[in-house]
Structure 1
Amino acid sequence: MTRALVIAPQWIGDAVMTEPLLRRLHARGEVITVGALPWVAPVYRAMAQVAEVVDLPFAHGGLQWAARRSMAAKMRGRFDVAYVGPNSLKSALLPWWAGIPKRVGYQGESRYWVLNRRLPNPPPGDRPPMVAFYSALSGDSGVEQDRPQLQLAAATVDAALHELQLTRQGYYVFAPGAEFGPAKRWPASHFAVLSEQLALPVVLLGSAKESALCGEIAHVVNAIRPGHCLNWAGRTSLDQALATIAAAKAMVSNDSGLMHVAAAFGIPQVAIFGSSSPLHTPPLNTLAHVVWLKKDPLYQPPLDCAPCFARTCPLGHTRCLVDVQPDDVLRYL
Protein backbone atom coordinates (compact mmCIF):
# COMPACT_ATOMS: atom_id res chain seq x y z
CA MET A 1 0.00 0.00 0.00
CA THR A 2 1.36 3.39 -1.04
CA ARG A 3 0.41 6.30 1.18
CA ALA A 4 0.13 9.46 -0.92
CA LEU A 5 -0.13 13.11 0.05
CA VAL A 6 -1.49 15.50 -2.59
CA ILE A 7 -0.87 19.22 -2.11
CA ALA A 8 -3.91 20.87 -3.65
CA PRO A 9 -4.09 24.05 -5.75
CA GLN A 10 -5.65 27.08 -4.08
CA TRP A 11 -8.39 27.76 -6.66
CA ILE A 12 -11.71 25.90 -6.86
CA GLY A 13 -11.52 25.28 -10.61
CA ASP A 14 -7.99 23.91 -10.38
CA ALA A 15 -9.01 21.72 -7.45
CA VAL A 16 -11.76 20.18 -9.59
CA MET A 17 -9.29 19.59 -12.42
CA THR A 18 -7.01 17.53 -10.16
CA GLU A 19 -9.74 14.89 -9.68
CA PRO A 20 -8.64 12.70 -12.62
CA LEU A 21 -5.12 12.62 -11.15
CA LEU A 22 -6.50 11.38 -7.82
CA ARG A 23 -8.66 8.81 -9.59
CA ARG A 24 -5.60 7.43 -11.36
CA LEU A 25 -3.60 7.24 -8.14
CA HIS A 26 -6.46 5.50 -6.34
CA ALA A 27 -6.91 3.00 -9.20
CA ARG A 28 -3.34 1.81 -8.78
CA GLY A 29 -3.76 1.30 -5.05
CA GLU A 30 -2.53 4.54 -3.53
CA VAL A 31 -4.32 5.70 -0.38
CA ILE A 32 -4.82 9.44 -0.83
CA THR A 33 -4.69 12.24 1.70
CA VAL A 34 -5.20 15.75 0.30
CA GLY A 35 -3.72 18.80 1.99
CA ALA A 36 -5.94 21.72 0.97
CA LEU A 37 -6.63 25.28 2.00
CA PRO A 38 -9.99 25.59 3.77
CA TRP A 39 -11.77 27.35 0.90
CA VAL A 40 -11.13 24.45 -1.52
CA ALA A 41 -11.21 21.51 0.92
CA PRO A 42 -14.96 20.83 0.38
CA VAL A 43 -14.24 20.07 -3.28
CA TYR A 44 -12.02 17.17 -2.22
CA ARG A 45 -14.65 15.86 0.17
CA ALA A 46 -16.82 15.37 -2.92
CA MET A 47 -14.23 12.99 -4.41
CA ALA A 48 -14.89 9.35 -3.52
CA GLN A 49 -11.27 8.29 -3.97
CA VAL A 50 -9.93 10.64 -1.27
CA ALA A 51 -9.43 8.89 2.08
CA GLU A 52 -8.72 12.04 4.10
CA VAL A 53 -8.72 15.80 3.65
CA VAL A 54 -6.40 17.86 5.86
CA ASP A 55 -7.20 21.57 6.11
CA LEU A 56 -3.94 23.48 5.77
CA PRO A 57 -3.87 26.50 8.12
CA PHE A 58 -2.16 28.81 5.65
CA ALA A 59 -3.25 32.18 4.26
CA HIS A 60 -2.73 33.79 0.86
CA GLY A 61 0.79 35.13 0.38
CA GLY A 62 3.99 34.70 2.38
CA LEU A 63 5.99 31.59 3.13
CA GLN A 64 4.61 31.21 6.69
CA TRP A 65 7.62 29.13 7.68
CA ALA A 66 6.54 28.35 11.24
CA ALA A 67 3.07 27.10 10.26
CA ARG A 68 4.46 24.95 7.45
CA ARG A 69 7.18 23.45 9.65
CA SER A 70 4.62 22.67 12.35
CA MET A 71 2.32 20.91 9.88
CA ALA A 72 5.27 19.04 8.36
CA ALA A 73 6.25 17.71 11.78
CA LYS A 74 2.75 16.26 12.21
CA MET A 75 3.02 14.52 8.83
CA ARG A 76 6.48 13.06 9.26
CA GLY A 77 6.51 9.30 8.68
CA ARG A 78 2.92 9.17 7.37
CA PHE A 79 3.50 9.20 3.60
CA ASP A 80 5.55 7.44 0.93
CA VAL A 81 4.97 9.91 -1.89
CA ALA A 82 3.79 13.49 -2.33
CA TYR A 83 2.31 15.08 -5.45
CA VAL A 84 2.58 18.87 -5.48
CA GLY A 85 -0.10 20.50 -7.62
CA PRO A 86 0.86 24.21 -7.38
CA ASN A 87 4.03 25.50 -9.03
CA SER A 88 5.21 27.59 -6.10
CA LEU A 89 8.21 26.94 -3.86
CA LYS A 90 6.15 27.25 -0.67
CA SER A 91 3.75 24.50 -1.75
CA ALA A 92 6.67 22.05 -2.01
CA LEU A 93 8.20 22.91 1.38
CA LEU A 94 5.76 20.87 3.48
CA PRO A 95 6.51 17.48 1.80
CA TRP A 96 10.23 18.24 1.95
CA TRP A 97 10.21 19.18 5.62
CA ALA A 98 7.98 16.16 6.34
CA GLY A 99 10.71 13.91 4.91
CA ILE A 100 8.43 12.26 2.35
CA PRO A 101 10.78 10.03 0.30
CA LYS A 102 9.30 10.69 -3.18
CA ARG A 103 8.21 14.24 -4.01
CA VAL A 104 6.69 14.83 -7.46
CA GLY A 105 5.98 18.17 -9.10
CA TYR A 106 6.84 20.51 -11.93
CA GLN A 107 10.26 22.12 -11.90
CA GLY A 108 10.56 25.86 -11.44
CA GLU A 109 10.69 28.60 -8.80
CA SER A 110 13.89 27.23 -7.20
CA ARG A 111 12.29 23.87 -6.39
CA TYR A 112 15.26 21.77 -7.54
CA TRP A 113 16.20 20.60 -4.04
CA VAL A 114 12.75 20.17 -2.52
CA LEU A 115 11.41 17.95 -5.32
CA ASN A 116 13.16 14.76 -6.44
CA ARG A 117 10.79 13.81 -9.29
CA ARG A 118 10.54 16.90 -11.48
CA LEU A 119 8.49 17.27 -14.66
CA PRO A 120 9.53 19.95 -17.18
CA ASN A 121 7.22 22.95 -16.88
CA PRO A 122 5.60 23.74 -20.26
CA PRO A 123 6.20 27.29 -21.51
CA PRO A 124 3.27 29.67 -20.82
CA GLY A 125 2.24 29.80 -24.47
CA ASP A 126 2.28 26.02 -24.92
CA ARG A 127 0.61 24.74 -21.76
CA PRO A 128 -1.70 21.72 -22.15
CA PRO A 129 -5.30 21.75 -20.86
CA MET A 130 -5.22 21.91 -17.07
CA VAL A 131 -6.62 18.41 -16.48
CA ALA A 132 -3.78 16.93 -18.53
CA PHE A 133 -1.30 19.24 -16.77
CA TYR A 134 -2.24 17.89 -13.34
CA SER A 135 -2.81 14.28 -14.41
CA ALA A 136 0.70 14.11 -15.87
CA LEU A 137 2.00 14.10 -12.28
CA SER A 138 0.85 10.46 -12.13
CA GLY A 139 3.46 9.49 -14.72
CA ASP A 140 0.75 7.75 -16.78
CA SER A 141 0.03 8.24 -20.47
CA GLY A 142 -3.31 9.11 -22.04
CA VAL A 143 -4.11 11.80 -19.50
CA GLU A 144 -5.73 14.02 -22.13
CA GLN A 145 -8.89 11.91 -22.12
CA ASP A 146 -9.77 12.31 -18.44
CA ARG A 147 -12.89 14.16 -17.25
CA PRO A 148 -13.30 15.39 -13.65
CA GLN A 149 -16.12 13.83 -11.64
CA LEU A 150 -17.60 14.94 -8.33
CA GLN A 151 -20.31 13.24 -6.33
CA LEU A 152 -22.24 13.98 -3.16
CA ALA A 153 -24.29 11.56 -1.11
CA ALA A 154 -28.02 11.97 -1.74
CA ALA A 155 -28.57 12.61 1.96
CA THR A 156 -26.01 15.42 1.90
CA VAL A 157 -27.71 17.12 -1.06
CA ASP A 158 -31.18 16.65 0.41
CA ALA A 159 -30.11 18.14 3.75
CA ALA A 160 -28.64 21.21 2.04
CA LEU A 161 -31.72 21.69 -0.15
CA HIS A 162 -34.01 21.40 2.87
CA GLU A 163 -31.99 24.06 4.70
CA LEU A 164 -32.05 26.36 1.68
CA GLN A 165 -35.72 25.61 0.89
CA LEU A 166 -35.06 24.32 -2.62
CA THR A 167 -36.29 21.30 -4.56
CA ARG A 168 -34.26 19.17 -6.96
CA GLN A 169 -34.45 20.42 -10.56
CA GLY A 170 -36.67 23.27 -9.36
CA TYR A 171 -34.30 26.17 -10.08
CA TYR A 172 -31.44 27.39 -12.23
CA VAL A 173 -28.03 28.45 -10.91
CA PHE A 174 -26.20 31.48 -12.27
CA ALA A 175 -22.57 32.19 -11.36
CA PRO A 176 -22.02 35.74 -12.70
CA GLY A 177 -18.60 36.26 -11.14
CA ALA A 178 -15.06 35.39 -12.15
CA GLU A 179 -12.27 35.86 -9.64
CA PHE A 180 -9.68 36.67 -12.32
CA GLY A 181 -11.28 39.93 -13.45
CA PRO A 182 -14.00 41.73 -15.44
CA ALA A 183 -12.69 40.57 -18.83
CA LYS A 184 -14.15 37.14 -17.96
CA ARG A 185 -17.58 38.40 -16.80
CA TRP A 186 -20.66 38.47 -18.98
CA PRO A 187 -22.52 41.76 -18.27
CA ALA A 188 -24.83 41.78 -15.24
CA SER A 189 -27.58 43.29 -17.40
CA HIS A 190 -27.44 40.24 -19.70
CA PHE A 191 -27.73 37.86 -16.74
CA ALA A 192 -30.76 39.85 -15.57
CA VAL A 193 -32.52 39.69 -18.94
CA LEU A 194 -31.86 35.95 -19.19
CA SER A 195 -33.20 35.37 -15.67
CA GLU A 196 -36.43 37.21 -16.48
CA GLN A 197 -37.09 34.82 -19.37
CA LEU A 198 -36.79 31.58 -17.36
CA ALA A 199 -39.85 29.88 -15.89
CA LEU A 200 -38.03 28.55 -12.83
CA PRO A 201 -36.39 30.69 -10.11
CA VAL A 202 -32.70 31.58 -10.37
CA VAL A 203 -30.15 31.16 -7.57
CA LEU A 204 -27.10 33.44 -7.81
CA LEU A 205 -23.91 31.92 -6.37
CA GLY A 206 -20.49 33.42 -5.81
CA SER A 207 -18.08 34.70 -3.21
CA ALA A 208 -18.67 37.61 -0.85
CA LYS A 209 -16.71 39.77 -3.31
CA GLU A 210 -19.41 39.09 -5.89
CA SER A 211 -22.37 39.87 -3.62
CA ALA A 212 -22.81 43.41 -5.00
CA LEU A 213 -22.68 42.14 -8.60
CA CYS A 214 -25.29 39.49 -7.85
CA GLY A 215 -27.33 42.01 -5.88
CA GLU A 216 -27.49 44.24 -8.94
CA ILE A 217 -28.91 41.37 -11.00
CA ALA A 218 -31.41 40.34 -8.33
CA HIS A 219 -32.61 43.93 -7.86
CA VAL A 220 -33.43 44.34 -11.56
CA VAL A 221 -35.11 40.95 -11.90
CA ASN A 222 -37.12 41.06 -8.68
CA ALA A 223 -38.51 44.50 -9.55
CA ILE A 224 -40.27 42.79 -12.45
CA ARG A 225 -40.75 39.29 -11.02
CA PRO A 226 -40.68 39.51 -7.20
CA GLY A 227 -38.77 36.69 -5.52
CA HIS A 228 -37.67 35.15 -8.82
CA CYS A 229 -33.95 35.78 -8.28
CA LEU A 230 -32.17 34.72 -5.04
CA ASN A 231 -28.83 36.38 -4.29
CA TRP A 232 -26.81 33.90 -2.23
CA ALA A 233 -23.36 35.16 -3.18
CA GLY A 234 -21.25 35.12 -0.03
CA ARG A 235 -24.17 33.74 2.00
CA THR A 236 -23.61 30.01 1.56
CA SER A 237 -20.77 27.74 2.51
CA LEU A 238 -18.93 26.02 -0.32
CA ASP A 239 -20.53 22.74 0.82
CA GLN A 240 -23.98 24.31 0.34
CA ALA A 241 -22.98 25.77 -3.01
CA LEU A 242 -21.80 22.37 -4.23
CA ALA A 243 -25.09 20.75 -3.22
CA THR A 244 -27.06 23.59 -4.84
CA ILE A 245 -25.22 23.14 -8.13
CA ALA A 246 -25.47 19.34 -8.06
CA ALA A 247 -29.29 19.46 -7.84
CA ALA A 248 -29.94 22.36 -10.25
CA LYS A 249 -31.94 22.20 -13.46
CA ALA A 250 -29.00 23.80 -15.26
CA MET A 251 -26.27 26.36 -14.69
CA VAL A 252 -25.07 29.45 -16.55
CA SER A 253 -21.65 30.84 -15.75
CA ASN A 254 -18.54 32.56 -16.95
CA ASP A 255 -15.23 30.70 -17.16
CA SER A 256 -14.83 30.24 -13.42
CA GLY A 257 -14.28 27.71 -10.68
CA LEU A 258 -18.01 27.05 -10.29
CA MET A 259 -18.18 26.32 -14.02
CA HIS A 260 -15.84 23.39 -13.45
CA VAL A 261 -17.88 22.27 -10.44
CA ALA A 262 -21.02 22.08 -12.60
CA ALA A 263 -19.12 20.17 -15.27
CA ALA A 264 -17.83 17.65 -12.74
CA PHE A 265 -21.36 17.03 -11.46
CA GLY A 266 -22.47 16.48 -15.06
CA ILE A 267 -25.44 18.84 -15.01
CA PRO A 268 -26.64 20.79 -18.09
CA GLN A 269 -24.70 24.05 -18.34
CA VAL A 270 -23.87 26.99 -20.54
CA ALA A 271 -20.35 28.42 -20.18
CA ILE A 272 -19.67 31.89 -21.57
CA PHE A 273 -16.09 32.65 -22.57
CA GLY A 274 -14.57 36.01 -23.41
CA SER A 275 -10.93 36.84 -22.75
CA SER A 276 -9.99 33.24 -21.91
CA SER A 277 -10.07 30.11 -24.05
CA PRO A 278 -12.19 26.95 -23.82
CA LEU A 279 -9.30 25.20 -25.55
CA HIS A 280 -7.31 25.58 -22.32
CA THR A 281 -9.92 25.34 -19.55
CA PRO A 282 -13.10 23.86 -21.07
CA PRO A 283 -16.03 22.55 -19.04
CA LEU A 284 -15.44 18.82 -19.51
CA ASN A 285 -19.06 17.79 -19.59
CA THR A 286 -21.09 16.19 -22.40
CA LEU A 287 -24.05 18.36 -21.34
CA ALA A 288 -22.08 21.61 -21.55
CA HIS A 289 -22.56 24.25 -24.24
CA VAL A 290 -19.75 26.76 -24.72
CA VAL A 291 -20.56 30.23 -26.08
CA TRP A 292 -17.43 31.92 -27.45
CA LEU A 293 -17.68 34.55 -30.18
CA LYS A 294 -14.06 33.93 -31.15
CA LYS A 295 -15.16 30.70 -32.86
CA ASP A 296 -18.45 32.01 -34.29
CA PRO A 297 -17.98 32.33 -38.08
CA LEU A 298 -21.06 34.55 -38.32
CA TYR A 299 -19.73 37.14 -35.86
CA GLN A 300 -18.20 40.17 -37.57
CA PRO A 301 -15.75 41.74 -37.39
CA PRO A 302 -13.75 38.74 -36.13
CA LEU A 303 -12.34 38.84 -32.61
CA ASP A 304 -8.67 38.94 -33.55
CA CYS A 305 -7.91 40.15 -30.02
CA ALA A 306 -9.22 36.99 -28.32
CA PRO A 307 -8.15 35.25 -26.26
CA CYS A 308 -6.09 37.98 -24.59
CA PHE A 309 -6.11 36.39 -21.09
CA ALA A 310 -6.20 39.89 -19.58
CA ARG A 311 -7.98 40.86 -16.37
CA THR A 312 -9.51 43.92 -18.02
CA CYS A 313 -10.07 44.47 -21.73
CA PRO A 314 -6.91 46.13 -23.18
CA LEU A 315 -9.08 47.76 -25.87
CA GLY A 316 -11.73 48.99 -23.47
CA HIS A 317 -14.79 47.44 -25.15
CA THR A 318 -15.01 43.79 -23.96
CA ARG A 319 -17.18 43.08 -26.99
CA CYS A 320 -16.21 39.40 -26.72
CA LEU A 321 -18.75 39.32 -23.86
CA VAL A 322 -20.99 42.33 -24.41
CA ASP A 323 -22.00 41.05 -27.85
CA VAL A 324 -23.12 37.67 -26.50
CA GLN A 325 -26.87 38.22 -26.24
CA PRO A 326 -29.19 36.58 -23.68
CA ASP A 327 -30.96 34.74 -26.49
CA ASP A 328 -27.61 33.19 -27.48
CA VAL A 329 -27.63 31.50 -24.08
CA LEU A 330 -31.36 30.90 -23.71
CA ARG A 331 -31.43 28.58 -26.73
CA TYR A 332 -29.43 26.00 -24.75
CA LEU A 333 -31.63 26.06 -21.63
Structure 2
Amino acid sequence: RSPLLTQSVAVPEWKSSKHESFYYLALTAAASGQSVSPELPGIEFVATSSAINSAREILNRMGHKSERPLIAFGPGSTNSTAKRWPAAYFSQLCTLMASVVEADFVILGGSEDIEAASQVESDTKVRLVNLTGKTTLSEAIGILSLSSVFISNDMGLAHIGAALDVRTAVIFGPTNDVTTRPLGKAVKIIREPVECSPCMLRICPIDHRCMNRIHPKRVFEEIRDWLG
Protein backbone atom coordinates (compact mmCIF):
# COMPACT_ATOMS: atom_id res chain seq x y z
CA ARG A 1 0.00 0.00 0.00
CA SER A 2 2.94 2.37 0.42
CA PRO A 3 2.82 3.63 -3.22
CA LEU A 4 -0.67 4.95 -2.47
CA LEU A 5 0.44 6.91 0.60
CA THR A 6 1.82 10.42 0.71
CA GLN A 7 4.16 9.27 3.48
CA SER A 8 4.87 5.65 4.34
CA VAL A 9 6.17 4.55 7.73
CA ALA A 10 8.20 1.39 8.26
CA VAL A 11 6.62 -1.25 10.51
CA PRO A 12 8.70 -1.26 13.72
CA GLU A 13 10.42 -4.47 14.78
CA TRP A 14 8.62 -4.40 18.12
CA LYS A 15 5.11 -4.39 16.60
CA SER A 16 4.35 -7.99 17.64
CA SER A 17 5.69 -7.55 21.17
CA LYS A 18 3.91 -4.38 22.30
CA HIS A 19 0.30 -3.29 22.48
CA GLU A 20 -1.09 -1.99 19.19
CA SER A 21 -1.70 1.36 20.88
CA PHE A 22 2.05 1.99 20.62
CA TYR A 23 1.92 1.29 16.88
CA TYR A 24 -0.77 3.90 16.30
CA LEU A 25 1.03 6.34 18.57
CA ALA A 26 4.19 5.76 16.54
CA LEU A 27 2.30 6.56 13.34
CA THR A 28 1.06 9.77 14.92
CA ALA A 29 4.54 10.62 16.14
CA ALA A 30 6.04 10.02 12.71
CA ALA A 31 3.48 12.34 11.15
CA SER A 32 3.74 15.05 13.79
CA GLY A 33 7.37 14.83 14.82
CA GLN A 34 6.46 14.21 18.45
CA SER A 35 7.87 11.47 20.66
CA VAL A 36 5.98 8.39 21.84
CA SER A 37 5.35 7.91 25.54
CA PRO A 38 6.87 4.69 26.92
CA GLU A 39 3.72 4.13 28.99
CA LEU A 40 0.43 2.74 27.74
CA PRO A 41 -2.13 5.50 27.34
CA GLY A 42 -4.95 5.64 29.84
CA ILE A 43 -8.39 5.08 28.38
CA GLU A 44 -11.49 6.51 29.99
CA PHE A 45 -14.98 5.94 28.66
CA VAL A 46 -18.23 7.05 30.27
CA ALA A 47 -21.72 5.89 29.33
CA THR A 48 -24.11 8.72 28.56
CA SER A 49 -27.05 9.38 30.87
CA SER A 50 -29.35 8.43 28.00
CA ALA A 51 -27.62 5.05 27.61
CA ILE A 52 -27.80 4.40 31.35
CA ASN A 53 -31.49 5.33 31.53
CA SER A 54 -32.30 3.05 28.58
CA ALA A 55 -30.29 0.27 30.21
CA ARG A 56 -32.18 0.65 33.47
CA GLU A 57 -35.49 0.38 31.62
CA ILE A 58 -34.36 -2.84 29.95
CA LEU A 59 -33.08 -4.27 33.23
CA ASN A 60 -36.30 -3.32 35.03
CA ARG A 61 -38.30 -5.21 32.40
CA MET A 62 -36.20 -8.32 32.99
CA GLY A 63 -36.85 -8.06 36.72
CA HIS A 64 -33.43 -6.86 37.81
CA LYS A 65 -33.28 -5.28 41.26
CA SER A 66 -30.65 -2.58 41.69
CA GLU A 67 -29.51 -4.05 45.01
CA ARG A 68 -28.47 -7.27 43.25
CA PRO A 69 -25.15 -7.43 41.40
CA LEU A 70 -25.42 -7.63 37.63
CA ILE A 71 -23.01 -10.00 35.89
CA ALA A 72 -22.67 -9.95 32.11
CA PHE A 73 -21.28 -12.48 29.65
CA GLY A 74 -19.97 -11.99 26.12
CA PRO A 75 -19.80 -15.46 24.53
CA GLY A 76 -19.68 -14.30 20.93
CA SER A 77 -16.95 -13.08 18.63
CA THR A 78 -17.55 -11.67 15.17
CA ASN A 79 -16.24 -13.72 12.24
CA SER A 80 -14.15 -16.07 14.39
CA THR A 81 -15.32 -19.29 15.95
CA ALA A 82 -11.74 -19.89 17.11
CA LYS A 83 -12.00 -16.98 19.57
CA ARG A 84 -15.08 -18.45 21.26
CA TRP A 85 -14.72 -20.18 24.59
CA PRO A 86 -17.09 -23.20 24.53
CA ALA A 87 -20.72 -22.30 25.23
CA ALA A 88 -20.98 -25.17 27.72
CA TYR A 89 -18.09 -23.62 29.67
CA PHE A 90 -19.89 -20.28 29.94
CA SER A 91 -22.94 -22.15 31.24
CA GLN A 92 -20.91 -24.03 33.84
CA LEU A 93 -19.20 -20.81 34.92
CA CYS A 94 -22.56 -19.12 35.40
CA THR A 95 -23.71 -21.99 37.62
CA LEU A 96 -20.51 -21.79 39.68
CA MET A 97 -20.92 -18.04 40.15
CA ALA A 98 -24.58 -18.40 41.11
CA SER A 99 -23.54 -20.80 43.87
CA VAL A 100 -21.62 -18.06 45.71
CA VAL A 101 -23.40 -14.81 44.83
CA GLU A 102 -27.04 -13.80 44.44
CA ALA A 103 -26.82 -11.94 41.17
CA ASP A 104 -28.67 -11.38 37.93
CA PHE A 105 -26.97 -12.70 34.80
CA VAL A 106 -27.23 -11.33 31.27
CA ILE A 107 -25.69 -12.12 27.90
CA LEU A 108 -24.66 -9.25 25.63
CA GLY A 109 -23.64 -9.16 21.99
CA GLY A 110 -24.66 -8.21 18.48
CA SER A 111 -26.79 -10.04 15.94
CA GLU A 112 -23.76 -12.03 14.76
CA ASP A 113 -23.39 -13.47 18.28
CA ILE A 114 -26.94 -14.84 18.56
CA GLU A 115 -26.04 -18.48 17.83
CA ALA A 116 -23.30 -18.63 20.46
CA ALA A 117 -25.45 -16.80 23.02
CA SER A 118 -28.43 -19.09 22.40
CA GLN A 119 -26.25 -22.13 23.09
CA VAL A 120 -25.17 -20.64 26.41
CA GLU A 121 -28.75 -19.77 27.31
CA SER A 122 -30.08 -23.26 26.54
CA ASP A 123 -27.31 -24.98 28.50
CA THR A 124 -27.51 -22.80 31.63
CA LYS A 125 -29.49 -24.14 34.59
CA VAL A 126 -29.79 -20.84 36.47
CA ARG A 127 -31.81 -17.82 35.35
CA LEU A 128 -29.96 -16.04 32.57
CA VAL A 129 -31.44 -13.27 30.40
CA ASN A 130 -30.22 -13.31 26.82
CA LEU A 131 -30.12 -9.77 25.41
CA THR A 132 -27.91 -10.66 22.46
CA GLY A 133 -29.08 -8.88 19.32
CA LYS A 134 -31.87 -7.19 21.28
CA THR A 135 -30.12 -3.97 22.27
CA THR A 136 -28.48 -1.10 20.47
CA LEU A 137 -24.78 -0.57 21.04
CA SER A 138 -25.63 2.40 23.25
CA GLU A 139 -27.97 0.25 25.37
CA ALA A 140 -25.34 -2.49 25.66
CA ILE A 141 -22.83 0.12 26.84
CA GLY A 142 -25.34 1.31 29.43
CA ILE A 143 -25.91 -2.24 30.68
CA LEU A 144 -22.17 -2.86 30.85
CA SER A 145 -21.67 0.32 32.86
CA LEU A 146 -24.16 -1.00 35.43
CA SER A 147 -22.52 -4.43 35.61
CA SER A 148 -20.29 -5.59 38.44
CA VAL A 149 -18.38 -8.12 36.35
CA PHE A 150 -18.07 -8.89 32.63
CA ILE A 151 -16.67 -12.21 31.37
CA SER A 152 -16.00 -12.21 27.68
CA ASN A 153 -14.18 -13.63 24.72
CA ASP A 154 -11.80 -11.38 22.80
CA MET A 155 -14.48 -9.11 21.33
CA GLY A 156 -15.33 -5.43 21.02
CA LEU A 157 -17.48 -5.27 24.15
CA ALA A 158 -14.49 -6.42 26.22
CA HIS A 159 -12.64 -3.25 25.25
CA ILE A 160 -15.68 -1.15 26.14
CA GLY A 161 -16.12 -2.88 29.49
CA ALA A 162 -12.46 -2.33 30.32
CA ALA A 163 -12.63 1.34 29.33
CA LEU A 164 -15.71 1.74 31.54
CA ASP A 165 -13.65 0.41 34.48
CA VAL A 166 -15.96 -2.58 34.82
CA ARG A 167 -14.14 -5.62 36.20
CA THR A 168 -13.54 -7.46 32.95
CA ALA A 169 -12.12 -10.96 32.44
CA VAL A 170 -11.18 -11.75 28.85
CA ILE A 171 -10.53 -15.28 27.65
CA PHE A 172 -7.88 -15.33 24.93
CA GLY A 173 -7.03 -18.22 22.62
CA PRO A 174 -5.88 -17.74 19.03
CA THR A 175 -5.23 -14.01 19.29
CA ASN A 176 -2.34 -12.17 20.92
CA ASP A 177 -3.22 -10.58 24.25
CA VAL A 178 0.13 -8.76 24.31
CA THR A 179 -0.86 -6.65 21.31
CA THR A 180 -4.66 -6.48 21.50
CA ARG A 181 -5.72 -6.93 25.13
CA PRO A 182 -8.34 -4.50 26.46
CA LEU A 183 -6.80 -1.62 28.37
CA GLY A 184 -8.28 -0.80 31.75
CA LYS A 185 -7.65 -0.69 35.47
CA ALA A 186 -9.57 -3.88 36.28
CA VAL A 187 -8.81 -6.35 33.50
CA LYS A 188 -7.81 -9.99 33.87
CA ILE A 189 -6.48 -11.89 30.88
CA ILE A 190 -7.05 -15.64 30.99
CA ARG A 191 -5.27 -17.85 28.49
CA GLU A 192 -3.70 -21.29 28.19
CA PRO A 193 -0.14 -21.41 26.84
CA VAL A 194 -0.23 -23.94 24.02
CA GLU A 195 2.34 -24.42 21.29
CA CYS A 196 0.10 -23.21 18.46
CA SER A 197 -1.18 -20.00 20.07
CA PRO A 198 -1.42 -17.25 19.04
CA CYS A 199 -2.18 -18.57 15.54
CA MET A 200 -4.52 -15.71 14.52
CA LEU A 201 -6.76 -18.17 12.66
CA ARG A 202 -10.51 -17.59 12.54
CA ILE A 203 -11.33 -21.30 12.46
CA CYS A 204 -9.30 -23.82 14.45
CA PRO A 205 -8.08 -26.63 12.15
CA ILE A 206 -7.34 -29.02 15.03
CA ASP A 207 -8.89 -29.45 18.50
CA HIS A 208 -9.31 -25.85 19.78
CA ARG A 209 -6.96 -26.70 22.64
CA CYS A 210 -6.20 -23.06 23.48
CA MET A 211 -9.82 -22.64 24.60
CA ASN A 212 -10.90 -26.15 25.55
CA ARG A 213 -8.13 -26.41 28.13
CA ILE A 214 -9.34 -23.32 30.00
CA HIS A 215 -11.85 -25.01 32.29
CA PRO A 216 -14.73 -23.15 33.97
CA LYS A 217 -13.38 -23.87 37.46
CA ARG A 218 -10.15 -22.08 36.60
CA VAL A 219 -11.95 -18.97 35.33
CA PHE A 220 -14.17 -19.05 38.41
CA GLU A 221 -11.14 -19.09 40.70
CA GLU A 222 -9.54 -16.25 38.72
CA ILE A 223 -12.54 -13.96 39.27
CA ARG A 224 -13.81 -15.21 42.61
CA ASP A 225 -12.42 -12.21 44.48
CA TRP A 226 -14.64 -10.00 42.31
CA LEU A 227 -17.78 -11.69 43.59
CA GLY A 228 -17.57 -10.39 47.16
| TM-score tier after normalising by the smaller chain length | 0.7 to 0.9
Give CA-to-partner distance per residue, 1:36-84, whole Å, 9 cap, x none: xxxxxxxxxxxxxxxxxxxxxxxxxxxxxxxxxxxxxxxxxxxxxxxxx
**Which residue does 2:58 correspond to in 1?**
163
1:247 to 146, 163, 166: 146
Q: Equivalent residues in 2 for 1:11-50 (5 A)?
A: none
Amino acid corresponding to residue 208 of structure 1 in structure 2: S
Gaps of 5+ in 2: none
Matched, 1:324 2:214: yes
1:104-156: CA deviations, max 9, x gaps?
Answer: xxxx35422xx4x5433447974742212223343242164213221124454
Paired residue secondary structure (1:309): coil
Q: Which amino acid aligns with 2:137?
A: L
Contact 1:151 1:265 in 2 (8 A): yes
Size of the aligned set, in residue pairs, is: 210
**Higher strand fraction (1 or 2):** 1
Deviation at 1:173, TM superposition (A): 0.8
Q: Which residue of 2 aligns with 1:308?
A: 199
Identical residues among aligned pairs (%): 24
Distance in 2 between residues matched to 1:171 and 1:239, nearest whole Å: 18
1:178 deviates by 1.2
Determine if contact 1:187/1:321 at 8 Å carries over to the other structure: yes
Tell me the distance in 2 between the aligned counterparts of 1:272 and 1:285.
15
Q: CA RMSD in A?
A: 2.3
Q: Cα 1:110–1:241, aligned 2, differ >3 Å: closer, same or farther?
A: farther
Matched, 1:219 2:122: yes
Please give the alpha-carbon distance, in whole angstroms, between the structure 1 residues aligned to 2:151 and 2:164: 14
**d(CA) in 2 for partners of 1:156, 1:286:** 22
| Structure (1 or 2) with the larger CA radius of gyration | 1
2:160 aligned with 1:273, yes or no? no
What TM-score do the two structures reach when normalised by structure 1? 0.58
SS in 1 for 2:56: helix
Distance 1:286 1:260 in 2: 12
Structure 1 residues 157-236: aligned runs within 5 Å: 157-165=52-60, 166=64, 167=66, 170-199=69-98, 200-221=103-124, 224-225=125-126, 228-236=127-135
C-alpha spacing 1:131/1:124, structure 2 compared with 1 (3 Å): closer
Amino acid at match of 2:116: L
**TM-score, normalising length: structure 2:** 0.83
For residues 278-320 of structure 1, give each alpha carbon's deviation from its aligned partner in whole angstroms, at most 9, with x where no partner exists: 11111222311111111xxxxxxxx111111111123x10111
* 2:72–2:105 CA contact under 8 A, matched in 1: yes
Runs of 4+ aligned residues of structure 1 deviating over 6 Å after TM superposition are none
Structure with the larger RCO, 1 or 2 (CA within 8 Å, 6+ apart): 2
The one of 291, 295, 304 equivalent to 2:190 is 291
Q: CA–CA distance in 2 between the matches of 1:235 and 1:124?
A: 41
> 2:4 corresponds to which residue?
111
- The correspondence of residues 81-96 of structure 1 with structure 2, limited to 5 A, is none
Q: In structure 2, do the counterparts of structure 1 residues 284 and 203 end up closer, same or farther at CA, with 3 Å as the change threshold? A: same
- Matches of residues 146-161 of structure 1 in structure 2 within 5 Å? 146-154=41-49, 156-161=51-56
* Equivalent residue letter for 1:313: C
What are the ranges of 5 or more consecutive residues in structure 1 without an aligned counterpart?
1-107, 295-302
What SS class does the counterpart of residue 177 from structure 2 fall into? coil
User: Structure 1 or 2: larger helix share?
Assistant: 2
Conserved? CA contact 2:172–2:191, under 8 Å: yes
- Give the aligned partner of residue 130 of structure 1: 20
Q: Name the CA shift for 1:240/1:143 in 2 (closer, same or farther; >3 Å).
A: farther
* Change over 3 Å in CA distance of 1:244–1:169 after alignment to 2: farther
Partner Cα distance (2:3, 2:145) in 1: 40
